[in-house]
Amino acid sequence: MRNTKTITTSAMLLALIGALFLLNRAFAFFFDPIAHTVSALIILIEIVLYGYKMGLVVSFGALIMGFLFGGSYILIYTPLAILAAFAYGFAVAKRFGAKEAVAMTSVIYIIGEFIITLLIMPLLGIDTISDLSTSLSEMFKEMGFVFDAMSFENLIKVSLSISLALTGFLEGLLLHLLAKIIFKRFHISILPKEKAIVLRPLHGYIAMFLVFGFIFVNSREINDIIYYVVSCLGLLAAVVLIFSGYTYFVSLGNSYRMNFSLYLILIIVLLFPYSLLILIITGFLYITGPLKNTLNRR
């Protein structure tokens, strides 16, 4: 009886993926980004309810559905959706917190976005960097701006790295939020209550090392893959240090019973980009100890 219910539910979930791909095809693949995220959610539901084996069965069916009814986008992104669903399912099985689940899923998505953009798309005749460089340089020339070709290409690479990293993170976060809504609706607890993340001094040193790595690869001619990896890691590390620096200043204001969060944001905007450098240095000193110790003594 239980096997019959498992097979029936799995078939229904697979039928949902097929219907989703057919609907997307009927609308001229307008819902491509939504379709691959929802398919990841459906596969995740299967994994949580019936385990990895049935998840593999539905995943295989989803690949066939993507081949039959999906366009090139679905065909490329369905394997990525499957990997993300299994990463999140692993986090659920091991009872990780929400932060760990989102981090694992986002890493899968970010790596996938880089592989698709830098390796698979060129094989299909789509050179993202060249296309962006050509179109943007022509647009800026019409506006009267002239850039050095090498520095402009580096700017495109950095912008693309940020875009791919943010896209991967948002895809992982979206999968988490959708899963949270669906499983809460059916009263299924999938993740335990999370604990606060504590950054240790070693994390601060690693983050600053990655930031220096980002500066180094942007001042040298280097292999594209290494450039993108180091740039992405360096940018993420810079975000962590900036947020830590902001946290320090807000905590410092609270210790004096002052709430100047709005003024701090205004100062950051007005002094941009120098304010970011100040926040990175402050964040590093806060994580590694010197500023944290002075804050604790107040």
- At residue 55, the pLDDT reads 85
pLDDT digits (tens, 9 = 90+) for 159-189: 777 777 778 888 888 888 888 888 877 777 6
Listed range (20-34, 85-99, 171-185, 282-296) with the worst mean pLDDT: 282-296
Check residue 190 and give its pLDDT.
66
Let me know how long the chain is: 298
pLDDT at 60 over 60: yes
Q: Give the pLDDT of residue 260.
A: 56
CA-based nearest residue to 198, from 267, 154, 247, 159: 247
83-97, 98-112, 131-145: least confidently modelled range: 131-145
Helical packing angle, 224-255 and 261-270, nearest 10°: 140
Would you state the structure tokens that stand for residue 120, as one six-digit string?
Answer: 């698979």
Residue 51, C-beta contacts closer than 8 angstroms, at least 6 positions apart? none
Q: Average pLDDT over the chain, rounded to whole?
A: 76
pLDDT of residue 273: 60
CA dist 133 and 145 (Å) reads 14
Which of the two residues, 161 and 110, has the higher pLDDT score?
110
- pLDDT for 184-198, tens place per residue? 777 776 666 555 556
pLDDT bin (cut points 50, 70, 90) of residue 285 is: confident
Using CA of residue 114, residue 115, residue 120, residue 123, what is the dihedral sign?
A: positive
Domain with CATH 1.10.1760 in the chain: 1-194
pLDDT score of 197: 58
Q: Would you tell me which CATH number, out of the four given (1.10.1760, 1.25.40, 2.30.130, 1.10.3470), belongs to the domain 1-194?
A: 1.10.1760
Quote the pLDDT of residue 298: 52
The pLDDT of 75-85, averaged and rounded, is 88
* pLDDT range class, residue 152, cuts 50, 70, 90: low
Asked whether the whole model's pTM tops 0.75, one would answer no
CA 86 to chain centre: 16
